[in-house]
A and B are shown apart, each in its own frame.
Chain A
C-alpha cells in the first residue's frame, strides 16, 4: 500500500539540480548519496539539512578518460535551498582516500528539462 500523493497546496515546491562527478574510483548510487548528505551535514548541520528534502533521482555513467570515472546525475531538493546544496557539493574533495570533485551543471523545475538542457545536450 502506498501513500496517496499530497494535494498541490500541501506538496511544497522542489527544484532539480543537475551535477557531474569526476572521481578516481567508480562510485555507486549509495556512495553518491552518502557523500552529498555528509557534506551538507558538515557545513549546514542537522537542523538545516532536514529542511532540504534531498532525494537522488537518477544517475548516468558517461564515457571518460582512462584513470578517471565520469558520472552525471539529478538531485531533487527544496526550492529556495539550492544555493546551500550547491555550496555543500562544491566543498567535497575526498571520499575513502580517493579524490572526488562535484560540479553543478544547472537547476531546473522538471526532470525532463534538466536532462535535455544539462545532461544530454547534443553538441
Chain B
C-alpha cells in the first residue's frame, strides 16, 4: 500500500527537510510540497533535500530515532494558485501548467470554484468551503469536476485546528462533499495540510478520522493512495497529449 500525502506547505530548506523526513518515517511513500506562485521559481533545493536524506539514510547519526530513508520516496513540487477573479485564474494556470507537476487552486469563492471545476488543466481544487457557510460545491460543480477529472481536496488541518462548533460545521461540510462524491464519482483526496511536523498524522489515523464524516475505510484508503498516484501518472503523459484523446507515442 503506497500512501501519498499531497498537501505539505513548503517554506524554506529547514522546514521542508524536516517535514519530508518525518513523513517518510510515518509511512508515506511520497509527498508533494506546495509553494505559492511567488516562491515557485526558486525551488532548486528539492533535489538537494532528496540527496541529503538518501545520504543520511544509509548512515543515520546515532542520536536520531528515525530509521533509514527509503530510496523510492517520491518527492514532487507543486504550485498553489490563489486567484482574485476568473481572468487571473486563467492567466496563472496557463503560466504554470507546463512548469509544474501538480497544480492546485485555492477555493472559497463560488465563481472561482466553478471556473476551476470547468477547467481541465487544473489538478486539485483545494478547500472549496473556505470562509463559507455551505460546503462550496453543488451538483452542477460535481458533474463538471467529474467530467474534467478535477480532484477535490479535504484538508485535515481544518478539522485539526478547530474546536467545538467550527469542527462540527467542518465535519458537516465534509459530509456533504462525500455525499456528492458517492453520486457523481469525482476524485476526492484526503491530505494532512501540514506546515510543521506537529500537523502530520499516519495514514491509518487519517483513515480512522475519515470514518467520522461518512467515508468508508476502503474509499479513504483509495483516496490516500490510488487517486494521487493516478493524477501524477496522468500529468507525466500530459506533455504528449495534444488534445483530449490524441497522444503522441515516443518510440
The answer to whether B175 touches A46, judged by C-beta atoms less than 8 angstroms apart, is: no
The answer to whether A50 touches B138, judged by C-beta atoms less than 8 angstroms apart, is: no
Task: Give B contacts to A, CB under 8 Å.
Answer: 110-111, 134, 137-140, 164-165, 167-172, 175, 179-180, 183, 212-213
The answer to whether B139 touches A41, judged by C-beta atoms less than 8 angstroms apart, is: no
Question: Which residue on B lies nearest to A34, using beta carbons?
Answer: B165
The 10 closest A-B pairs by CB, nearest first: A50-B171, A50-B168, A50-B172, A49-B168, A46-B168, A1-B110, A3-B138, A47-B212, A46-B167, A37-B165
Question: Which residue on A lies nearest to B183, using beta carbons?
Answer: A10
Extra contacts, 7 of them, besides A47-B213, A51-B175 (Cβ < 8 A), are A5-B138, A7-B139, A37-B164, A41-B168, A46-B167, A46-B168, A50-B172
**Complex contacts, A41 vs chain B, CB 8 Å:** 164-165, 168
Task: Give A contacts to B, CB under 8 Å.
Answer: 1-7, 10, 34, 37-38, 41, 46-47, 49-51, 53
| Max chain B C-beta neighbours (<10 A), residue from A7, A46, A49 | A46
Q: Whole-angstrom distance between the alpha carbons of A46 and B137 in the complex?
A: 23
Task: With both chains docked as a complex, state the minimum distance between the C-beta of B161 and any C-beta of chain A, in angstroms.
Answer: 14
The answer to whether A50 touches B179, judged by C-beta atoms less than 8 angstroms apart, is: no
A interface secondary structure, majority: helix
Task: With both chains docked as a complex, state the minimum distance between the C-beta of A102 and any C-beta of chain B, in angstroms.
Answer: 18
Task: With both chains docked as a complex, state the minimum distance between the C-beta of A21 and any C-beta of chain B, in angstroms.
Answer: 19
The answer to whether B183 touches A4, judged by C-beta atoms less than 8 angstroms apart, is: no
Task: With both chains docked as a complex, state the minimum distance between the C-beta of A53 and any C-beta of chain B, in angstroms.
Answer: 6
**Complex contacts, B171 vs chain A, CB 8 Å:** 46-47, 50
Question: A1-B111, A3-B110, A50-B213 in contact; A38/B164 too (CB < 8 A)?
Answer: yes
Can you list 18 A-B contacts with CB-CB less than 8 angstroms, sorted by A residue number?
Answer: A1-B110, A2-B110, A3-B134, A5-B138, A6-B138, A7-B139, A10-B139, A37-B165, A41-B164, A46-B168, A46-B171, A47-B213, A50-B168, A50-B169, A50-B170, A50-B175, A50-B213, A51-B172
**Complex contacts, B180 vs chain A, CB 8 Å:** 10
With beta carbons under 8 angstroms apart, the residue of B138, B164, B213 that contacts A4 is B138
**Complex contacts, A34 vs chain B, CB 8 Å:** 165
